[in-house]
Amino acid sequence: MVQVIEDAISGKEGTSLAQPLWRAEQIRTLEQRWARREGCDTYELMTRAGAALLCYAGHHWPQCGNWWIFVGPGNNGGDGYVLARLARRIGLEPLVIAARAPALLTGDARRAADEWLAAGGCVQLVDELELSSLTPPDLVIDALLGTGVHIPLSPSMTKIVATINGLNAPVLAVDLPSGLNADTGRAMGALVRATRTLSFIGIKQGMLTADGVDGVGLLDCDSLGVTPDAGLVPAAERIDYPALKSLLTPRPRSAHKGSNGRVLLVGGNLGMQGAILLAGLACLRAGAGLVRLCQHPSHGAVSQVQPELMSGQAGIDEDWAEVKVVGPGLGQDEWGRVQYERLVRADGALVLDADGLNWLAQGPRHQDNWVLTPHPGEAARLLGCTIAEIEADRFAAVARLQRRYGGVVLLKGAGSLICDGQRISLCDEGNPGMASGGMGDLLSGIIAALLAQGWSASMATRLGAVIHGEAADLAAAEGERGMLASDLLPWIRRLVNPTQ
């Protein structure tokens, strides 16, 4: 067990996906620029994609020989036709099921379909095929729809997606699962739920957030030999613990508690003491030198719960702290309002979460000294819109939040997004076990501790997100259901010390 833990922390398990994330239009630009530079047409990339899919399927499902390849009307379908032709060369006889007759296709997709037919292959139109009468497949390839999906799927496409999802076989999605908006991560009415996805050229930003996390399954990427031009800036970047852990260097031997920062956390109203305690404990475990809690006076001393946590009365010596956290368990009564109003204008770094954000929504202001960590509901209140509007395009939402309120904004959720006004980072670590009380309080405490130790607001937020998500993934080894926020605390300490 110890070796498994050590390997997970050191990043020996698995590899990190490519960091740049792209919008669909950027991928098309990369393809066109590559074709001009290499002096060839884009059909060469379709041929490479088909070859990559053949190798990928053979590697992950070597025993599967009854392939059903669902092909759509565009270039995604063209990739499927090339795959079918190459598979036939090695002795397989894939069943190609088309959403549109080959004669109605155009461009590279038509060329790929023609070459498949010329090689002796045949095409079955999905509307004319009685699938229940056939031998069930042992591998399904989803080559229906690619990056051009921006409106809800038609009834016929929705039916095909339902058919794919209903087959008792692994599903390989070509480039991205059909029905997924590559830019926003939203399902356009229906979504193929793939076992694995092989993406091409680069990872599309929508694959790692919102509905994308349920659709892609295990994700890999093949560049097909296309390298981004220096002048094309990715839409976002993917961050994870293995990529950032080298920033967590050992402390100087002369370090002392004062040099590791002082943090004041304000919250813990009546009935909500647990929130501020979790934030304080995470702050300690993430390395802050001194941590003081200011909670509702009716609560007992926090030293009775954790001796290393200090207590303080509201309004007394608050300049003592370089970093302040306002919100965990703060409440929306008069006591909570007074604490918020007193500290929101304070000097130094500030982390706002939970009811701190709800108070901010009632009186919007723009500041550059804070980190805001809203979940979609809080984000909707901050922007005066619905949760559905936030989730419809999380990238646009986090950018709007940052422009309106300043500082650094972390929009929590599946595929958390961080915007500092210069770039958007996406952390796709974490798991459904985090859908329980107190997880956000831990995140606030971790970010505050990193701020106190000298990281910039942008880097502290990014580091905090990956430590938080990685700790949850390690804790989830014992099961996601029933995982508690406090289960992450031992892992937080291990993760902020990767080289020790």
3-class DSSP string for 341-403: HHHCCCCCEEEECCHHHHHHHHCCCCCCCEEECCCHHHHHHHHCCCHHHHHHCHHHHHHHHHH
416 annotated to a ligand binding site: yes
Beta strands in 181-245, from DSSP E residues, in sequence order: 196-200, 203-204, 218-222, 236-239
Is 329 marked as a binding-site residue? Answer: yes
- Would you say 469 is a known binding-site residue? no
Say whether 242 counts as a known binding-site residue.
no
> Is 499 part of any known ligand binding site?
no
160 assigned to a ligand binding site: no
Is position 415 annotated in a ligand binding site?
Answer: yes
Q: Is 74 annotated as belonging to a binding site?
A: no
Q: 142 among the known binding-site residues?
A: yes
Tell me the sheet residues that pair with 69.
96, 141
Give the Cα separation of 51 and 350 in Å (integer).
52
319 assigned ligand-binding residue: no
State yes or no: 440 annotated in a binding site: yes
- The answer to the question of whether 464 is labelled as a binding residue is no
175 is in an annotated binding site: yes
In angstroms, rounded to a whole number, what is the distance separating the alpha carbons of residues 413 and 396? 14
Residue 148 in marked binding region? yes
Is 16 marked within a binding site?
no
Per DSSP, what are the bridge partners of residue 294?
Answer: 266
Confirm or deny that 331 is annotated as ligand binding. no
Q: Confirm or deny that 146 is annotated as ligand binding.
A: yes
Q: What is the distance between the alpha carbons of residues 325 and 299, in angstroms, rounded to a whole number?
A: 19
79 is in an annotated binding site: yes
How many Å apart are CA 215 and CA 188, to the nearest integer? 12
Distance CA(443)–CA(429), nearest Å, equals: 13
77 is in an annotated binding site: yes
256 is in an annotated binding site: no
What distance lies between CA 61 and its chain's CA centroid?
A: 27
Q: Find out whether 258 is annotated in a ligand binding site.
A: no
Read off the tokens for 426: 């996406």
Q: Is 275 one of the annotated binding-site residues? A: yes
Question: Does 414 belong to an annotated binding site?
Answer: yes
In sequence order, what are the residues at sequence separation of 6 or more whose Cβ sits closer than 8 angstroms to the Cβ of residue 466? 239, 240, 241, 243, 244, 427, 429
Amino acid (1-letter code) at residue 336: G
Binding residues for (6S)-NADPHX, as ranges, are: 75-79, 146-152, 175, 275, 329, 375, 441
Binding residues, as ranges, are: 75-79, 142, 146-152, 175, 178, 275, 329, 375, 412-416, 440-441
Binding residues for K(+), as ranges, are: 76, 142, 178
Binding residues for AMP, as ranges, are: 412-416, 440
